[in-house]
Copies of this chain bind each other. A is one copy, B any other.
Amino acid sequence: MFTQGEERNREVITQVKAAKEAAGKLSGATTGQKNQALLAMADAIWRNRQEILVANQQDVQDAQAAGQTASKVDRLQLNEKRLQDMMEGLRKLIELTDPIGELLETILRPDGLLIEKVRVPLGVIAMIYESRPNVTVDAAGLALKTGNAVVLRGGKEALRSNAALVKALKEGLEAVHLPTDAFQFINRTERESVDDLIQARGLVDLVIPRGGAGLIERVVKHSLVPVIETGVGNCHVYVDKQADLQKADAIVINAKTQRPSVCNAMETLLVHADIAEQWLPVILAQLMERGVEIRACERARAALAGNPQLREKAVPATDADWSTEFLDLIMNVKIVADVNEAIQHINTYGTLHSEAIVTEDPGSAQIFLQQVDAAAVYHNASTRFTDGFEFGFGAEIGISTQKLHARGPMGLKEMTSYKYLIKGNGQIRV
């Protein structure tokens, strides 16, 4: 007899082992086989669309009944158009170069040993994510193209939608005789099933948490296998005294308001003291017009002295605000003495995601690009470009905010490892 916890753990581990076994087979699949599978996966989604949409409808009703926010329900909701977008995503992967098997380096040693460094799949990737069914299809497609097996653990609100999608995706694998075990779906809602998965050392090669700071923190804390942290972006734009203020207007408004709910949106504006009195009222008025709430440092509020109406709306920022990823039409503003203070603020509060300087002074730009510690550092452009598609990668599995393995947008290559193949004729070490 097993306890419920043991039973759950046994089931998850059985799935992970099946994924590992399938990963071994998948690592030898040809590009042609994998591309056929992607096509078959897209077809199978369309063939199963009714079943998927019915399952999704149930998820959506439950989410609404549970009082989920409209934006969460919207992320969960599927329709034929959204299914077609998912299918299009799978088909686009076909055009991308298969990274597996690439010869990265050849070393011929004096004793005749030939060392070849070749690109191989990682093996088993575990995805832990929120209630967004599109991530299920994205992750399966990217894993398949890179020869990896994937274990999917999505948010509980999307359980039925994900189950129906994974069933269809497996049909696609089956159609081209690739192991259906390569896609494992954890059809459970207990939080502990996440722990089972991220503690399967020796079976899972990488965990990618995709979601808010809380989810990521939980995974980092409990994981015994390597993790790549993604997507928490407390991003800054620094407007220098030598900025072209027309560029600054456009960049700041774009970085904050074009899509405030995403990780590469700006959360704090840093302004050089010399231009604060002149420019701050101008930009803040434009932002407020677009519905942005402002939290300002004392000096910024002082700079608004000539405009009491603006000043009143720019409430004092608290210490916690500087560390907050609002993901909403809220932002901080802070006056800094120079580029060095801007860099220091960013390296203290930033999350190593995306940071920008607006300036016409090449010296300040150079210092900023070199000293800011982030995946993507911009000169005279919006932080909103940090994205696998915008970088031309054709796809992305997430945006890494750590420095190990992959940094910034992670495309196909970032989902691979390498191994050394050493060919000899009897060499021994002396």
Instruction: Supply 4 further A-B pairs (C-beta < 8 A) apart from A250-B426, A380-B425.
Output: A375-B420, A377-B419, A377-B420, A380-B427
Say whether A227 faces chain B, with CB atoms less than 8 Å apart. Answer: yes
Question: Which residues of chain A from 235 to 264 have any CB-CB distance to chain B below 8 Å in the complex?
Answer: 244, 246-247, 250-251, 253-255, 258
Say whether A370 faces chain B, with CB atoms less than 8 Å apart. Answer: yes
Say whether A50 faces chain B, with CB atoms less than 8 Å apart. Answer: no
Verify B258–A428 contact, CB threshold 8 A.
Answer: yes
Verify A424–B391 contact, CB threshold 8 A.
Answer: no
Pick the contact of A122 from B27, B369, B404 — CB < 8 Å?
B404
Q: A24-B371, A123-B373, A417-B404 are in contact. Are A426 and B224 (CB under 8 A)?
A: no
The contact sample of 7 A-B pairs, CB cut-off 8 A, is: A24-B373, A28-B371, A250-B428, A373-B419, A382-B429, A391-B420, A408-B419
Chain B residue contacts of A422, Cβ below 8 A: 376-379, 381, 385
Pick the contact of A27 from B255, B370, B402 — CB < 8 Å?
B370
Pick the contact of A403 from B205, B376, B402, B408 — CB < 8 Å?
B205
Verify A247–B404 contact, CB threshold 8 A.
Answer: no
0/1 interface trace, chain A 214-239, chain B, CB 8 Å (1 if under):
00000011001011100000000000
* This chain's copy number in the assembly: 2
CB of A351 to closest CB in B, whole Å: 9
CA distance A408 to B246 in the complex (A): 51
Q: A404-B122, A404-B404 are in contact. Are A380 and B424 (CB under 8 A)?
A: yes
Say whether A47 faces chain B, with CB atoms less than 8 Å apart. Answer: no
Chain B residue contacts of A206, Cβ below 8 A: 403-404
Verify B421–A369 contact, CB threshold 8 A.
Answer: yes
Verify B375–A419 contact, CB threshold 8 A.
Answer: yes
Say whether A405 faces chain B, with CB atoms less than 8 Å apart. Answer: yes
Chain B residue contacts of A418, Cβ below 8 A: 407
Verify A107–B377 contact, CB threshold 8 A.
Answer: no
Chain B residue nearest in CB terms to A427: B381
Question: Which residues of chain A from 344 to 401 have any CB-CB distance to chain B below 8 Å in the complex?
Answer: 347, 369-371, 373-382, 384-386, 390-392
Verify A113–B381 contact, CB threshold 8 A.
Answer: yes
Say whether A75 faces chain B, with CB atoms less than 8 Å apart. Answer: no
Say whether A81 faces chain B, with CB atoms less than 8 Å apart. Answer: no
